Amino acid sequence: MKRAVVVFSGGQDSTTCLIQALDQYDEVHCITFDYGQRHRAEIDVARDLAIKLGASAHKVLDVGLLNELAISSLTRDNIPVPTESEDGIPNTFVPGRNILFLTLAAIYAYQVQAEAVITGVCETDFSGYPDCRDEFVKALNKAITLGMARDVRFETPLMWLNKAETWALADHYQKLDLVRRETLTCYNGIQGDGCGECAACHLRSHGLNEYLANQAVVSASLKEKTGL
């Protein structure tokens, strides 16, 4: 029995990871973190999608303590979210978020005897978040394996894909329309194509348009990177 835990926010990236995990593992457990995030609708979206796609279990974990400590435009209503990518670390960065989430997901994986923790972090369409970097994920994976005395493998299937290739990956599993319609990536909390104005919406729609305009080319580069 191959089991995996997916760190699941209900956004495009983690939903695409979930779709792939359901194809690759016998049993997939989703974990979603409630940290009092600005777009709280994402928790409901995650709940609906986990059931709809067929996850074996879905845990929503209260990590309100993160909100108390980490000041960011995603944890405070009075800090506006950016409309364009900025140089340096954007104000949507929640310090420690992935350190905490991946650690908690690994504890969950230990409990349910999952061999892998899957996260949709990505270095290619880099938002400037240091905790999305491959080097960080590998270092934390090593620390956790040492600290638990059990092999838990962190998988980052989107790490080297750009957004267009992530759309191609969803399409590979015949789920492009579902991901487009039902996921929530927008910093302003609007499902599907979103507000169209925030940095997350720009990145998402730019990738989708690039994929739709060059499907064969993007699918070929996905195949080259992933073998799919």
Site size for Zn ion, by CB under 5 A? 6
Residue 191 annotated in ligand binding: no
Shortest Cβ distance from residue 200 to Zn ion (Å)?
A: 6
Residue 85, interface with Zn ion (CB under 5 A)?
no
Minimum CB distance to Zn ion, residue 62 (Å):
26
195 in contact with Zn ion (CB under 5 A): yes
Smaller CB distance to Zn ion: residue 10 or 194? 194
Pairing of strands 3-7, 153-155: unpaired
Among 30, 186, 218, 222, which residue sits at the site for Zn ion (rule: CB under 5 A)? 186
Binding letters toward Zn ion, positions 200-219, x by CB under 5 A: -x------------------
Choose among 114, 122, 94: nearest CA to 6.
114
Residue number with CB closer to Zn ion (107 or 190): 190
Q: Which is nearer to Zn ion, 84 or 135 (CB)?
A: 84
Which is nearer to Zn ion, 28 or 198 (by Cβ)? 198
- Contacting residue, 162, 194, 204, 208, with Zn ion by CB under 5 A: 194
**Does 198 participate in binding Zn ion (rule CB under 5 A)?**
yes
C-beta contacts of 85-94 below 8 A and 24+ residues apart: 85/127, 85/128, 85/199, 85/202, 85/203, 86/128, 87/128, 88/128, 89/128, 89/129, 89/130, 90/127, 90/128, 90/199, 92/127, 92/187, 92/199, 93/128, 93/129, 94/35, 94/66, 94/70
Which residues are annotated as part of the binding site for ATP? 8-18
Binding site for Zn ion (CB under 5 A): 186, 188, 194-195, 198, 201
